[in-house]
Amino acid sequence: MSIYFDASQNFFHLSNNEISYIIGIEKKQYLTHRYFGPRLAEYHQVNQLQMIDRGFATNPISEERTFSLNTLPLETSTQGSLDYRVSNYQFRNIDGHCITNFAYDHFEISEGKRPLEGLPSLRGDQGQTLAIYLVDSIQSLEMVLYYTIYEDLPVITRSVSYTNNGTQIVYIENAGSMLLDFPRCDFDLLTFNGAHTNEATIHRQALHPGIQKIASTRGTSSPQHHPFLGLADRYTNEDQGDVYGFHFIYSGNFVAQAEVEQYGSTRIQIGINPETFEWKLSPGTTFQTPEVVLNFSRKGFNQLSQTFHTLYQTYLIPKQWQQEERPILLNSWEGNYFDFTEEDLIRQAQLASTLGIELFVLDDGWFGQRTDDTTSLGDWYVNNAKLPNGIEHLADVIHQQKMKFGLWFEPEMISVKSRLFERHPEWSLQVPNYPQTQGRQQLVLNLSLPEVQDHLIQMLIAYLSSNKIDYIKWDMNRHLTEVGSFLLPNDQQKEVSHRYVLGLYRILSEVTERFPQVLFENCSSGGGRFDPGMIAYMPQTWASDNTDALCRSKIQYGYSYLYPPIMMGAHVSDSPNHQVGRNTPLESRFLIAMSGNFGYEIAIEKQSPQELEMIKEQIIFYKKHRKLLQFGQFYRLKELDASYSTAWLFKNETEALLVYSNGLAQPAQTVQYLKTKYLEESALYKDMNTEEIYSGSELNHAGILIPRIKGDFNCFYIHWTVIR
């Protein structure tokens, strides 16, 4: 890995064993994007910049009409002159003018990577960082572009800091995190879109002229659009072809866009969504943007996923969870909803313990007057009618059953019907004179207020200090409205959305760092805020409120492009399923849930003796293969088709496990051989069910005949151990 500056030809070359990224300096002032892709052993500027005197092109040097920033591939945009494509930043000065003129100033190269203050970011112990300084000398503004390249992965991170070294206030109307121009547009754009209970649906479409953009203005990254863009060659599939992935480490409003411009190049830009953002940059202050991960694969989507999986397990989630096995849980929600007593929970926990379950999670309904979802958020004291002996007592009883104890919170919310709202109505997000909009009959606390942050930190510390809570499910079940704050002057109201996210990050970092042994699960009505920012604090996320096995196989398939199975909470729930009413076999529900971070969310006492016996066996099976399922490599073997059939493979040095789901049964079944593709070619694998022995190469290339499966939503698995 190295970052090299060629002083004679004025370019930077960032490279490791797999990738190169090259930035040029033109006219000693302007940063051009020269290359990003497979590693180049050396670079001698073979791909010269196109210099043509174009119509409507503007020229920084008037007599040099072939040189225009309107057409060159750039590393950042210009503002108010020269470049008309989507921009990465926008300032407004005190006179109301929106113009800057940044020019290259100097650079620094350093080992490692500094953490981004107040923001989650990848740890950079294995990286090297290039900081390129640009200066607007008229207003004394400084912009620093940060690039970190990793030693062991085809990954670069980018972020920007904006500093006001002048004497006047300036306002940042747009604080983008990265921009780069590819000199071509024959890409397919990949996005993950969805809705509540239908998260992470993959969309792939050819880029076309104009701007293709996804964004959130909801206050969170949202289930509607995941903060990710992929650019794939047309022929790229799971196993071959080039693909770039851009993933934003941020949990609030974002924009991610691709612009195909007039001469066939593609601009990628990602950052905080400027629609709901502005920042007052006082003299002597700096604004740091969140970070974007740039990932490149030459071997299709599976390889891209391998890199994301390793990257986030190694450099993003809290260190203490990297190698830590996760417990099998029973979550109380779908089995009880709000309707339970202490005796019910204790009986359920006792039964769960005899089945081998390791963590009992008490979900919503344990606090305040909470008998339905209309009340009590914010009143984080125990509901005595349901739990007369308190949370600590319940935790003790669960611990006596040799299980861990987990508890649900939705800390960012406040019900109008709550003691907290009576005491602190001003803590909820609001704008003077306008009614407050409710969602799920609740309001959102203004997390940008330090006193609200302190209150939540203290509340959580008080619960966790008892040492009785081993796990917290952190929920967030509505989006932001009336985003205003009484604490800020009128020219800073548009800071609130971002300050909310910073407040959230402050709470999360203080609480998770103080209680490193507590496992936090991220949730926002399922995957509503499943993003790399949240993962930096909470190593797993409840992937969707949809627990139907068939829907889940699609949702988990989508998330697996970016996150490993250990990060996606997945539970066996009752059949018929509560969200879609579908009946699925218990075996299928198990195999799909087992392919994520595994647990149960069922009315456990209503299961038949046969079902309980099956569950017991499932748990024994899971424990036996937990290392493989939680820490093995995960590959998709089949692209999702109209029948929703899926197949995937878990693999480590000693074993492998394939899960196949037929989705909707088809008539006139075609001949299908499923190729495992990623097993060790020269190894011998023993099928632990049939005792047949096969070579990795025959499994990879000749494949397994898919048997005739009648009935919908049936899954099977094959488990092999490596015998040589």
For ligand GLA, which is the closer residue by CB, 358 or 601? 601
- Residue 260 tokens read as 């195909």
The CB-nearest residue to ligand GLA is 364
- Output the smallest distance, CB 145 to ligand GLA, in A: 38
- Output the smallest distance, CB 475 to ligand GLA, in A: 5
Q: Could you tell me which residues come within 8 angstroms of residue 538 by beta carbon, excluding any fewer than 6 positions away? A: 474, 508, 512, 520, 521, 522
For ligand GLA, which is the closer residue by CB, 18 or 363? 363
Residues that bind ligand GLA (CB under 6 A): 333, 363-364, 373, 408, 475, 477, 523, 525-526, 542, 545
Confirm whether 379 is a catalytic residue: no
For ligand GLA, which is the closer residue by CB, 230 or 365? 365
For ligand GLA, which is the closer residue by CB, 81 or 341? 341
Exposed e or buried b for every residue in 633-661, given b needs 16+ CB within 10 A? bbbbbbebeeebbbbbbbbeeebbbbbbb
* 3-state secondary structure (DSSP) of residue 239: coil
- Output the smallest distance, CB 525 to ligand GLA, in A: 4
For ligand GLA, which is the closer residue by CB, 53 or 372? 372
- Output the smallest distance, CB 569 to ligand GLA, in A: 9
- Output the smallest distance, CB 523 to ligand GLA, in A: 5
- Output the smallest distance, CB 519 to ligand GLA, in A: 16
| Residue of 545, 548, 574, 712 marked active site | 545
- Output the smallest distance, CB 419 to ligand GLA, in A: 19
Q: Rounded to 5 degrees, what are φ and ψ at 156?
A: -130, 140
- Residue 272 tokens read as 């905080």
What's the rounded Cα separation, in Å, for the pair 617 and 591? 12
* Residue whose C-alpha is closest to residue 505's, from 288, 226, 230, 303: 288
Q: Rounded to 5 degrees, what are φ and ψ at 500?
A: -60, -50
- Output the smallest distance, CB 480 to ligand GLA, in A: 17
Place of tokens 């926002």: 524
Contact 327, 402 (CB under 8 A): no
- Output the smallest distance, CB 415 to ligand GLA, in A: 12
Contact 293, 157 (CB under 8 A): yes
For ligand GLA, which is the closer residue by CB, 442 or 630? 442
Contact 507, 451 (CB under 8 A): no
What's the rounded Cα separation, in Å, for the pair 383 and 220? 30
What dihedral do alpha carbons 77, 80, 81, 84 form, nearest 10°?
60
| Residue of 83, 470, 475, 548 marked active site | 475
Contact 168, 283 (CB under 8 A): yes
The angle at the Cα of 459, spanning 458 to 464, to the nearest 5 degrees, equals 95
For residue 576, whether the previous peptide bond is cis, meaning omega lies within 30 degrees of 0, is: yes
For ligand GLA, which is the closer residue by CB, 305 or 336? 336
Own/partner contacts of 617-623, CB < 8 Å, gap of 24 or more, are 618/572, 618/590, 618/594, 619/328, 619/355, 619/356, 619/357, 620/356, 621/594, 622/328, 622/594, 622/598, 623/328, 623/356
What's the rounded Cα separation, in Å, for the pair 33 and 35? 6
For ligand GLA, which is the closer residue by CB, 120 or 335? 335
Place of tokens 């000065």: 93
For ligand GLA, which is the closer residue by CB, 69 or 523? 523
Confirm whether 712 is a catalytic residue: no
Active site members: 475, 545
